[in-house]
Structure 1
């Protein structure tokens, strides 16, 4: 009877937490960013799924779409958190207090800084999807059941269409599949289909994105700003003489136009150092929209507009041009880029000490999981969650810049590890007594 009372108490407290956070989400004024309006307009250079989601909501509810949108966004997060907590309780026997604390940590992005479920951005759908991907990955490693990889890939398929950055998760899932094969020593024939599905997933998401753009924008192409984002850091690092890296007249002309504008605005590494700015990387992060959107993108569109191209063709040709320019510019500035990249990677984790801490956790988790004969241990959670975290931060730092909006998905990891470690210590003390 006492055990039933304890379970009811924990469930009741958990329900109260969901309800209180839910009230906050609903009462919080809907948060708009510049990108929010682009999603609402179904702009050409935005990922398809969140734009389609908002289109459905505005079609059904008209101008009153904000409240039902927040309800759905928060509802999806509740389902993801519930799934995560249910697995943790079963696998790690986490105590009641630890469960409530972990629940609050997972829901905390709704309550501070980002207000994820109250915001009209793709992160509102991506965050619960990331939680589901991580928990199902841990479940797959713990159980050794390779059939779960198909559920994982289905979730990742949706997640990539919401936010393309999560293509970074594919190599992690492939590594987990190979780990299970080595750990369980199952036949190689059983791993062929999962690996084939992993390989074709980027092709499938690319085709869906092209199909979406064909349906909505009458152009059968993928996301049009990938390389525009990618090359922005190269423009920031480049010197005026770097136009020599290009053979085509078009690339040289475009480079000169953009670099002159950046130099005039003081938005290059050289100009930052000349102005004796303390942290040149911070200038890049805080000025990214001025570098990428206002110069690399807008000046590029204007360049192709003057050639007589329409808006869609401007975006397509600009993306192709940036793709062709990327490697020559990267090769010419490789030494500067290495330091720049690792500086960004450090920022993505918060500081060098935090990056080192997560690196140690990753190594410890991988070594512990490899040596452990039992899979339902803390090492599995540490290894899997930090692997996903490193994959995300590595790609984000490479392509754009590691602002909180792009890397907050794993803020819960360190707290979850601490909570579970304390739980293990308490269990040993209780068993010892």
Structure 2
């Protein structure tokens, strides 16, 4: 397991050791490069995070010494690969405090994880708890990533169910004043982001989950922007499903996670059919393996799972509480710094309370694409556009936003570089 040594006497966040950011940065080779002749300032971790050497080395080690297919070979190398793959599952289970490793399903990404649940619901036989139909309702929110909107729209089209949603306040919070009306006796599923990928808002869970339980609804949390940044405990969250992706949490692309309560996974029919997900096959019919194998048809992302396991080791060694507090301080610093930029509007919470290290903003009279191009010319890498959350842009009456997203390796000096870059943007566009 990766450990980060905290120098003796280093200040702490209460009982949590403060991050040694420079020591962390030394683990990420790409952070030393230049962009357009300037030191790279990477402020796009909400899009994808950078990868530490520990993850890169773990994947290289796997390919060089343990590469084989899993769950189907009795030879030594195949056994090693299977042990590494299932070992990664166990690490992820511990990371989110799952009751057992079998509650972890490896997917391609969080999008596939959410779609897996949606298609399993539509494949469920009539009369089962997971069968939806006309009159049933699915509740999401106005701040969702498209990955947590489109699958439910498609499910409604397939089943005749109705989609409803929570509105978002001007301050970037979920409007829960109508909670009892939106989540009602017809609600079968509530699915929303634990942390907004645009606003940085950390959404409350207890009131929504309690109301869902009252009406017998399931709860799915999109933790794509939560699992990399704050401690995530599925037992404490009391959800039924949780989805997140590896590439935003120091892991590789091509692997995501669906956690589900095992008793629900057992009831879910498979979505993809093929090798490794079967119990028996005849020419007339097939029976299916127990979860999670039932949902992992074909050769899985083996090396990617190994990389994700290494990323979990890395983050656990540093400490998720330390990462949370580091980003909380960065958000406070950045909000104060951005407030000095004339004509800048922050979308979402303007205080560091109940928010993470993602800040989206607009500059009066300047299109975000122009902002992004000027910043890139200065080596400052941000994301511009609707961030796969177009309904949220419509809610705020803008075609696009500029987003700066921080992570464990981000420094206050990089925030300063962003502000200097925005001053240059304003000079260029008058």
**Of Structure 1 and Structure 2, which has the larger fraction of its residues in strand?**
2
Larger Rg, first or second structure (1 or 2): 1
Task: Return the TM-score normalized by structure 1.
Answer: 0.30
**Of Structure 1 and Structure 2, which has the larger fraction of its residues in helix?**
1
